[in-house]
Structure formats: C-alpha cells, structure tokens
Amino acid sequence: MNIKILDSWLREFIKTAADAKTIADRLSLTSVSVEKLEKHDGDYIYDIEVTTNRPDLMSITGLAREAAGALSQAGIKAEYIEPEYKKVTSNKKLDLEIVNNPKLVNRICAVALDINLKPSPEKISKRLEAGDIRSINNAVDVTNYVMREVGHPMHVFDYDKLLKTGKMIIRESKPGEKIVTLDEKEYMLKGGDIVADNGKGEIIDLLGVMGTLNSAVSDDTKRVLLFVDNNDPHRIRKTSMGLAIRSEAATLNEKGVDVEKAMDAILRGVELLEKIADAKLISGVFDIYPNKPKIQALQILETKINSVIGITIPLKTSWKILNDLGFTPKEIKDGLEVRVPSWRANDVSAEEDIIEEIVRVYGYANLPNTLPAFESGKPYNLVSDRFYWEERVKTAFKYWGFTEVYTYSMVGENMLEQATKDAVVIKNPLTEDRVYMRTTIVPSLLEAVRENKGREKLRIFELANVYLKKAGSLPDEKLKLAALIKGPKLSFLEAKGIVEALLEDLGISGVVFKAAKSGAAGASVFIGHELLGEIERLEEDLIDLEFDFETLLKHVSLKKVYKPTPRFPEAIEDLRFEIGEQIPYEKIVRTIHEQSNLIKKVELLDVYKTKKTFRIIYQSGERNLTSEDITQVREKIISALKKHFRADPA
C-alpha cells in the first residue's frame, strides 16, 4: 500500500535540518521505500510504499518517528515531536445507545458535536489533495486528515439521522442484505460483514470499510457523531475484497491498526472540528474498549544479535535504535529486555523481530559482504543430473531447427484429452480456458499451430510437466518432451529421424519402433516393454511426438566404449531390388545382414515405388577383401531376397 505525504506536514512532527532528499533516502534504506520524491508547490511530496506489517507507518506521525530514528543513527540530528492531544472533559452521555459486539469490534470511540458544515480551509484541503484525497467538506475532511496524521481510520455520521431510532447495534450482516454506500452504490452483502443496525433491522454503516448513504453527512447536516471503530481485520478483508470496495480505511483496517490510537484519533478530530467547523461538544467521549492488545517484553542476548547479523554491534547502539523507534529497551545481563509498543504488537513477537529492527536501522549498507563459508562436499554425478539432460535435449532441438515454446499448464475442456473427472481441476480459475491441469502437451502445441496459421512450415517443442490425478495425494507431475513438425509433403521419417538422433545423443540403444495401436497413424517407441513415447502422424502436413522424459532419464548413458578402428579398407556396392512395398525395411536389412559377417553396414539409398536401392558396405577385420569375396556375398544376398521376399535385382 502506498501513501503520499507532504514534507511540510511531516516536519510538524520532526525537528531536523535534513533536507527532503536525505529524509527520503534514510527512510528507504532503513524503513519503508520512498518510491518517488516530487517537488510540489514549494514543498515536496513523498510517495511511500508501506509494507503490510506496518500499518502504523500509513501516517505522518508514524513516519516522523521512524525518520527521526533513522536520521540520528546516521549521525544526522533529528528529533521526533510527540503530539499531545487535549482531553475532552465533558461527561455528558450520548443520546444514542451503542451496543457493541466484542467478537467483531475491539474498540469504539465516539463523540457528538454541533458543527458548521462548510468547505475546509486551504491548508487542510491542500494537504489532503497532495495525498490524493478529495476535499469534500470540513467534517469529512477532518476524518481523512486525522486518518493520515494519527494513523487510525475514522468516520463521521449525521447525528440527527442516527437519532431517528436512537440506536446503533453492532452485528454480523445476513446474506442478501442490501446497502447503499455513501458514494451511492448499491451492494448485496454475503453475510458475516460487520455492520451497524439502527435497531429496526436497517443497516446504517458498513464498519471499517465505508459509510452508508442513510447515515452520511449531507449538505444540511448540523450535528455529527465522530466515530472510531477498531475492527476484526479478517472480516474487513473479506468484506472489502468480496464487495470490491478498496477504500483506504479498509486497506488499513484489514492490516490491523493500533487500537490505542483510537482515542488519539477522536481527540485530534475534536480539536480540528473546533478549529475549522466552529464545533461545540454535545457529549463526552463514549469509549467502549473490550479488547486491549497484549504488550510483550522480549529478552535478547547480545551474542545472538551479533551472530545473526554477522558483525559486532555495540549493545548501546542497539539500545538507542530500539528506543528511538518507540520500544522500551532495558539493559540486562548479556543483553536487552525490550517492551514492544502497542503499534507494533501484531508485528514484533520474537528475538528475530528485534534483530530486524536493529539491523535495518543500523543499515544494510554498513554491513560487509561475505559468502557462506561451507561447501557441502557432496559428490557430483553428471549422468544423474536431470538438469544437465534437460538442457542437453533442449539444445539439441534448437540445433535441429526447433523453436521452444512455453504454453500454459492449465487448459480448457476442449484441450483435455480425457474425461474431466479424471483431471486435476482448479476450483477458482481465472478463465474458462485455464481450468484443468493438462495431462498431455501435444494439444497445447496444436493450439500454437492454430495461432500461427500463416506458417506453412514450423518446428516447435516444449519440455514441461503433465499432471496425473492420484487419489488422496498430490498428482504425479511428469516431465514430457513434446515436439511438432508442420510442413508440406512431410514424411513420417523426418520425425522418426529426430527421435533416432535424440536417442543416439542420449546414449539410449535397444529401442524398438512399433506401429501405433490406437489413435492416429504412427509409431510407439519402446525400450523392452517400457513405452518411451509416441510419434503421431495427424495430418498430411502435421506430425507430433511426445516422450516421457522420466523414462528417457532412466536409460540415458554417458558410457564410452572403444572399438578398434578398422585396419582394412571397406568395399562399397549399391544394389537395387524390385521388392514388395509391404515388406518392412527392417526385415529386409536383417535378412541381408544374416548372409555374411563381411557385411558391415546396410543403408537405404533410395525408394521409388517398388524399387529400393541399398548400399552395402563390406569390410573384414582381418584382411583386404578380394572381388571374389564380394561376388560370393552378393550372390547370397540376391538369392536370399528372392527366396524370402520374391525380390529381383532391378
């Protein structure tokens, strides 16, 4: 959450000669980040990002205390000017009966005043507007001004509107109840919201989030009820998010604001209304305070401080830092005992929290850089490093002309290739096309093809998880390697060649290609009985493949095997046969090999209808081959192919 504040306003609570730039830098480095510092009308605006644990710094006074501590630690003279509020002495009771529910609201402070409703003086309206708050009238402006200065949100009601029933009962909303907020928008409540009821079932306030129109200050307002409510933060969050009303009050209240500040806010509000709205008290301050914060005292050893931070920080320095921040530190044996201020009660509860206070104000920039001293010394084994193989496979695909894509893990029903009940389902998806965790990658690649319709040719791949539902436990996340080739006159062999090259590069041998049994035309690839993956020919110009990366990993190898290089030259001969198209190539090659151990290699040179040309490479490990040797083998090949496949030399 961000807050914009004027330098001149901040300086009402801090005495220092430091300029705005210095204050901004010190705050950024030790406390909250000043994201922008802008010149504004002879003044400066700080635009500050406040972390969710520090709602106390969504205020001028909170920031002034923080800045004073940070500046003085850096050797720049600075002092926090603690505000003092004038007490309200009147004991007069309210004419309104307020009934609290301590489960919902921690504290209510309220006071009734006669006022003269009019625009705010320039000083007030300018300060608000510099902080992106619209000036409305003096009564409403005071609530916003106090929220910014003291740090507790507050509300102002038209007192006479409340007195129509004379009752205000704090309760939970019921589902379906309707309200109209003061910006004239209608909402239907979901139930469980903190509301004020006028005793007749009508809602007169959505506490901590936004006022309602029926009780709001309007042009004819004469009397007001200034009202501070400190609420259960979780209910505020639920209401504010559920109704999408992200008012500043709600963003503060949902973080939990300092309940002790409720009275400060009321008193400061009264002071201001007296000053700018000719206000006169018509009641004393009503204060119902059932839930007081628990104030903790923590003990911390000096050695602990130093070992976590990594350097020696004098205990006196730690003491001063904590004291400046509003803690109450006391030196004890070998350390400090630290009382936590009310505005940090939600946030500081352990030794480590205290160390954080010390180290941040001491300044991270003042610490040296070291590297962790240990090395694990665990042996590193390349072949079992899955990340090595992932990178190697990706790189191989890159150099085979593939472009890597990252598609979403979530898909719509149309891309889920199975029954929706068998898929891992997201309960609260953002869009209908991202509901199911995918169980296969290929549909996402096909979507990529559709989205690049203009491309006649493309090659893409992805290495990503699929998610397989498992009863009673987290789904199986399995890494899959998927690729897709699109191109005119695309041969199945192009995809098969990629797979063959991949397996060779991974050191995987003994792989068998079998005709796919189901789905589209293609091949299933096995190692033994284990399915490695599939190649699918989907369309004339579209082939995809998907392999199980985990199974591939089981078989990868970096083992080096040496075979003596041949000492005698090879003889090469091309043979062409007229042979039935249906006879699988693998069978022919096997038959040729069976004819002689002088046949070192058989390659397919060309296929034309029923004619296949083979290149036979002859080689002996023991001697030079003579033409007689070759003639003998050649004749055996020809007769064997004739016998088994009725093939003829062509």
Residues 246-305 close enough to bind other proteins by CB under 8 A: 254
Nearer to other proteins, 385 or 635 (CB): 385
Nearer to other proteins, 565 or 627 (CB): 627
Nearer to other proteins, 204 or 348 (CB): 348
Cβ of residue 212: shortest distance to other proteins, in angstroms? 24
Closest CA to 5 of 152, 153, 155, 149: 149
Nearer to other proteins, 406 or 608 (CB): 406
Q: With beta carbons less than 8 A apart as the criterion, state whether 362 and 321 touch.
A: yes
Residues β-bridged to residue 472: none
Return the structure tokens found at 368: 């040296």
Residues β-bridged to residue 572: 617
Cβ of residue 407: shortest distance to other proteins, in angstroms? 6
**Which residues between 339 and 378 bind other proteins (CB under 8 A)?**
350, 352-353, 355-356, 359-360, 364-365, 367-376, 378
Cβ of residue 363: shortest distance to other proteins, in angstroms? 9
Nearer to other proteins, 425 or 630 (CB): 425
Nearer to other proteins, 408 or 526 (CB): 408
Say whether residue 410 binds other proteins (CB under 8 A): yes
Among 89, 122, 219, 399, binds other proteins (CB under 8 A): 399
542: left (phi > 0), else alpha (psi -120 to 50), else beta?
beta
User: DSSP state, 555?
Assistant: H
Say whether residue 607 binds other proteins (CB under 8 A): no
Q: With beta carbons less than 8 A apart as the criterion, state whether 138 and 152 touch.
A: no
User: Whole-angstrom Cα distance, residue 124 to residue 127?
Assistant: 5
Q: With beta carbons less than 8 A apart as the criterion, state whether 358 and 309 touch.
A: yes
Cβ of residue 461: shortest distance to other proteins, in angstroms? 8
Q: Which stretch binds other proteins (CB under 8 A): 25-33, 502-510, 521-529, 620-628?
A: 25-33
Cβ of residue 83: shortest distance to other proteins, in angstroms? 25
- 3-class DSSP state of 588: helix
Among 3, 5, 34, 535, binds other proteins (CB under 8 A): 34
Nearer to other proteins, 359 or 641 (CB): 359
Nearer to other proteins, 154 or 361 (CB): 361
Q: Which stretch binds other proteins (CB under 8 A): 309-317, 519-527, 580-588, 627-635?
A: 309-317
- 3-class DSSP state of 627: helix
Torsion, Cα of 68, 74, 77, 78 (10° steps): 0
Among 164, 246, 320, 434, binds other proteins (CB under 8 A): 434
Nearer to other proteins, 116 or 452 (CB): 452
Residue 633 backbone phi and psi in degrees, to 5: -65, -45
Number of residues engaging other proteins in binding (CB under 8 A): 86
Say whether residue 428 binds other proteins (CB under 8 A): yes
Cβ of residue 465: shortest distance to other proteins, in angstroms? 6
**Which residues between 439 and 458 bind other proteins (CB under 8 A)?**
447-448, 451-452, 455, 458
Cβ of residue 347: shortest distance to other proteins, in angstroms? 8
User: Whole-angstrom Cα distance, residue 393 to residue 387?
Assistant: 10
Q: Which stretch binds other proteins (CB under 8 A): 89-97, 148-156, 399-407, 524-532?
A: 399-407
User: Whole-angstrom Cα distance, residue 270 to residue 250?
Assistant: 23
Nearer to other proteins, 106 or 214 (CB): 106
Say whether residue 493 binds other proteins (CB under 8 A): no
What residues contact residue 130 under an 8 Å CB cut-off, 6+ apart? Answer: 4, 5, 6, 40, 41, 43, 45
Exposed / middle / buried, residue 296 (Cβ in 10 Å: 0-12, 13-18, 19+): middle
Say whether residue 37 binds other proteins (CB under 8 A): yes
Q: How many CB atoms lie within 10 A of CB 559?
A: 7
Among 9, 187, 227, 467, binds other proteins (CB under 8 A): 467
Cβ of residue 166: shortest distance to other proteins, in angstroms? 35
Say whether residue 465 binds other proteins (CB under 8 A): yes
Among 102, 119, 429, 528, binds other proteins (CB under 8 A): 429
- 3-class DSSP state of 125: helix
Closest CA to 108 of 177, 42, 173, 196: 196
Among 403, 414, 418, 632, binds other proteins (CB under 8 A): 403
Run of H or E including 600: strand 599-608
Closest CA to 152 of 288, 253, 251: 253
Q: With beta carbons less than 8 A apart as the criterion, state whether 573 and 637 touch.
A: no
Q: How many CB atoms lie within 10 A of CB 148?
A: 23
Torsion, Cα of 512, 515, 518, 521 (10° steps): 130
Q: Which stretch binds other proteins (CB under 8 A): 94-102, 189-197, 467-475, 500-508?
A: 467-475
Nearer to other proteins, 307 or 632 (CB): 307
Cβ of residue 46: shortest distance to other proteins, in angstroms? 11
User: Whole-angstrom Cα distance, residue 629 to residue 638?
Assistant: 15
Say whether residue 398 binds other proteins (CB under 8 A): yes
The alpha-helical segments, DSSP class H, found in 135-289 are 138-150, 159-163, 233-243, 248-253, 261-276
Burial 117-134 (b: 16+ CB within 10 A, else e): beebeeebbbbbebbebe
Q: With beta carbons less than 8 A apart as the criterion, state whether 99 and 199 touch.
A: no
Among 30, 61, 221, 591, binds other proteins (CB under 8 A): 30
Say whether residue 432 binds other proteins (CB under 8 A): no
Cβ of residue 205: shortest distance to other proteins, in angstroms? 23
Q: With beta carbons less than 8 A apart as the criterion, state whether 47 and 34 touch.
A: yes
User: Whole-angstrom Cα distance, residue 54 to residue 345?
Assistant: 11
Return the structure tokens found at 538: 């989907």
Cβ of residue 243: shortest distance to other proteins, in angstroms? 12
Say whether residue 402 binds other proteins (CB under 8 A): yes
DSSP states along 8-22:
HHHTTSEEE---HHH
Cβ of residue 458: shortest distance to other proteins, in angstroms? 7
Among 88, 245, 288, 425, binds other proteins (CB under 8 A): 425
**Which residues between 47 and 86 bind other proteins (CB under 8 A)?**
51-54
Cβ of residue 235: shortest distance to other proteins, in angstroms? 9
Say whether residue 40 binds other proteins (CB under 8 A): no
User: Whole-angstrom Cα distance, residue 650 to residue 639?
Assistant: 14
Cβ of residue 174: shortest distance to other proteins, in angstroms? 22
Say whether residue 397 binds other proteins (CB under 8 A): yes
Nearer to other proteins, 369 or 582 (CB): 369
Cβ of residue 575: shortest distance to other proteins, in angstroms? 28
Among 19, 35, 82, 570, binds other proteins (CB under 8 A): 35
